[in-house]
Amino acid sequence: MTTTISNNQITAKINHKGAELFSLESIITHKEYIWEGNPEFWEKHSPVLFPIVGTLKNNTYSIDNNSYNLPRHGFARDMIFELTNQTENSATFAIQSCEETLKVYPFDFEFQIHYSLKDKKLNIEYKVINKTKSKLPFSIGAHPAFALNGNFKDYAIKFEKDETLVYNLLENDLISNKTKILEKTDNLVELNYELFVNDALIFKNLQSKNLSILKNQNPFLKIHFHGFPHLGIWTKKDAPFLCIEPWYGYSDTSESNGNLFEKEGIQIIEADATFCSKFSIEIT
């Protein structure tokens, strides 16, 4: 099943599987901004990452000396979400902990995703409700892939702040201690596939909280992620898309001890508390 929301500027379409955004289209220009999901490169569009982001060491973690297995990026992206509320320009989706999730993630929770449109902006809000009578550890992240038609080298990313762009390298899908500096000119990074030869660029301490994608020096998309402490940027060789990924958390480090509560970048919700965050995609 899918749900469509719209206003007088843009239309967004969401698949109930994973509550995944698979289309964001301008009503005025009919331009599509979300990657089509061609499996030749990558079959996803904009998966939601929960209750982990990235990869666990040996795909395993521990709670109270009990071991559990979780696949890369968790299970939410493969679950069917319930549509709990809808208006013309908004929709809310939710999943609950269940027998299957408890086998791999021993916590009672509710996870809500709220999509809403305002002018040329799509707002995406996450809400994690801890229904366990103890603390709940989790990570959460977005993984939207934006369609980049034409020559990849015609595109650039413009960061909000003038800062040194230090990113960590991945080794065997885990965060290594190796870092590099992303070269820029006037906060502008010219895109090329060589940047991603070692997979995603992982920024642990980015000061910028929004960035723009430009084509031939002209902005056509802006991502706002105030509050998100981490960011991933990723594509595949020769693929006509770019993922801009605001995160709370990231893959295990190679030194991880496996204890989920001690995982680097993990978020903790107190008993009966709620975590909220949001980001937005603005077309130009």
Write the pLDDT tens digit of every residue in 94-121.
999 999 999 999 999 999 999 999 999 9
Q: Collapse the DSSP code of 166 into the 3-class scheme (helix H, G, I; strand E, B; otherwise coil) and give the result.
A: strand
pLDDT at 284: 87
pLDDT at 30: 96
DSSP element (H, E) containing 179: strand 174-181
Average pLDDT, integer, range 177-203: 95
What is the rounded average pLDDT for all residues in the chain? 96
pLDDT at 268: 97
Residue 18, C-beta contacts closer than 8 angstroms, at least 6 positions apart: 47, 48, 76, 77, 78, 79, 81
Residue 15, C-beta contacts closer than 8 angstroms, at least 6 positions apart: 1, 2, 22, 45
pLDDT at 144: 98
CATH of span 2-283: 2.70.98.10
Closest to 206 (Cα-Cα) out of 156, 155, 244: 244
pLDDT at 265: 95
pLDDT digits (tens, 9 = 90+) for 231-265: 999 999 999 999 999 999 999 998 999 999 999 99
pLDDT at 181: 96
pTM comes to: 0.96
CA dist 268 and 137 (Å) reads 5
pLDDT digits (tens, 9 = 90+) for 201-219: 999 999 999 999 999 999 9
pLDDT at 190: 96
Domain positions in the chain: 2-283
pLDDT digits (tens, 9 = 90+) for 138-164: 999 999 999 999 999 999 999 999 999
Where do we find the tokens 């590099």? 180
pLDDT at 173: 92
Looking at the predicted structure, is the pLDDT value of residue 43 above 90?
yes
Q: Collapse the DSSP code of 252 into the 3-class scheme (helix H, G, I; strand E, B; otherwise coil) and give the result.
A: coil
Percentage of the chain modeled with pLDDT above 90: 98
pLDDT at 45: 98
pLDDT at 17: 98
